[in-house]
């Protein structure tokens, strides 16, 4: 699949990416409904096999479940795609989602998510 330069960066991405919102599954405020994890993993791998070189996800998609599915799908994949994520939405113990009114720079909202 052809790639295009992303803005002025040195990244070259395919015009089509894989959006991982729906694989977050059910049980959260903006859910699309239940998903089969095996199907989600297979679908990500199929997209990569078709030449897609980037995945869009966010910690809030399924309250972490989408990112877990992406990680599982990438196990053993020799050529890793770019994984683009967002970190301005958080949730509490009741699974209530909220937007951080003043997102902090990397090291603020993102660092804890990256560190696990």
Catalytic residues: 61
Buried b (16+ CB within 10 A) or exposed e, 99-115: eeeeeeeeeebbeeeee
- Helix axis angle for 37-49 and 65-74, nearest 10°, is 50
Q: Is 13 helix (H, G, I), strand (E, B) or coil?
A: strand
């Amino acid at each position: 699949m052809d790639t295009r330069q992303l803005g002025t960066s040195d990244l070259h991405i395919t015009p089509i990416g894989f959006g991982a919102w729906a694989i977050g599954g059910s049980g959260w405020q903006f859910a699309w409904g239940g998903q089969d994890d095996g199907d989600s993993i297979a679908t990500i791998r199929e997209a990569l096999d078709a030449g897609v070189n980037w995945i869009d996800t966010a910690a809030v998609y399924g309250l972490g479940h989408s990112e877990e599915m992406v990680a599982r799908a990438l196990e053993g994949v020799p050529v890793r795609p770019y994984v683009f994520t967002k970190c301005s939405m958080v949730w509490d113990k009741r699974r209530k989602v909220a937007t951080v009114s003043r997102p902090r720079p990397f090291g603020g909202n993102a660092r804890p998510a990256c560190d696990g």
